[in-house]
A and B are shown apart, each in its own frame.
Chain A
Amino acid sequence: MKHLQYDEINYAELFAEFRNPNSGAVVLFSGEVRDNNKGRAVTHLEYEAYEPMANKMIAKILEEAKTRFKLNQAVCVHRLGKVDISGCAVVVITGSGHRKEAYDANRFIIDRVKNEVPIWKHEFFTDGTSEWGQNCDCVSNDHEHQHQHQHHEEAK
């Protein structure tokens, strides 16, 4: 499966496609574009990835989650290119016999994807500036920090 796409993500279709009769619980997380970040008004985002590596890493994270949480299904698709406000930037769907595993696995997958996979967000603001974002707040202890925390601002 391809985990990156330039087209809009239709999560309702994905949800239906990956339905599994062994799953009593299916969790769908959609990461959507906010109209603000740290007090600044955002117009849209653009995503870029080192595509072959990102695709491979997402596939590996999903396989790991399936084994670790005994999932029946695990899906993750991330957008590339321009995503407007309220657009779906990333979707994660997890299904298992019972809800605990589906919830825990969903969180595990989205955290790993955000922190590790070579995908980058370029935020565009209403004042005409743009900035390459960085997810890590460096306060969380739920993952290893392999970097320093910083943002790289640039004029439009």
Chain B
Amino acid sequence: MDKRTIKIVCFAGLRKYFGGETTVVVEPGATYSAVIDELKLVNPEANDVLASCRIAVNEEFVQPDEKIEAVDTLFLIPPSSGG
């Protein structure tokens, strides 16, 4: 299996670091935490906010230690601040 490129959609305060969307390249069998690690390398200034983000796939949250599903797009969700 080859490495694959995944689109990452960013919201709110994350756009300052990555724009509205970016891409990362992941190894076959990688977990979601690898995406976060990769983004920390892309922009180390975002380390703190990335540590508190969650990832959503198909409108559901996923766990960092799960393997990345066969999807093209991940949604990076910073801490909620509605209300």
A interface residue numbers (CB < 8 A to B): 31, 47-50, 52-54, 56, 78, 89-90, 110, 113-122, 132-136, 146-148, 150, 152, 154
B77 at the interface (CB under 8 A from A): yes
Give Cα distance in the complex from A121 to B59, angstroms.
20
Told that A89-B82, A120-B78 touch, could you supply 10 new A-B pairs with CB distance under 8 A?
A: A48-B12, A89-B83, A113-B83, A117-B80, A134-B79, A147-B52, A147-B54, A148-B51, A152-B49, A154-B16
**Residue of B48, B54, B83 with most partner-chain A CB within 10 A:** B83
> Which of A49, A52, A148, A154 contacts B82, CB < 8 Å?
A49
What residues of B have a CB within 8 angstroms of the CB of A114 in the complex? Answer: 80-83
> Which of A110, A134, A148 contacts B81, CB < 8 Å?
A134
Question: Total interface residues on B, using CB and 8 Å?
Answer: 21
What residues of B have a CB within 8 angstroms of the CB of A48 in the complex? Answer: 11-12
Contacting residues of chain B (12-58) with chain A, CB-CB under 8 angstroms: 12-13, 16, 48-49, 51-54, 56
Give Cα distance in the complex from A148 to B79, angstroms.
8
Given contacts A148-B48, A150-B48, A150-B49, contact A50 B11 (CB under 8 A): yes
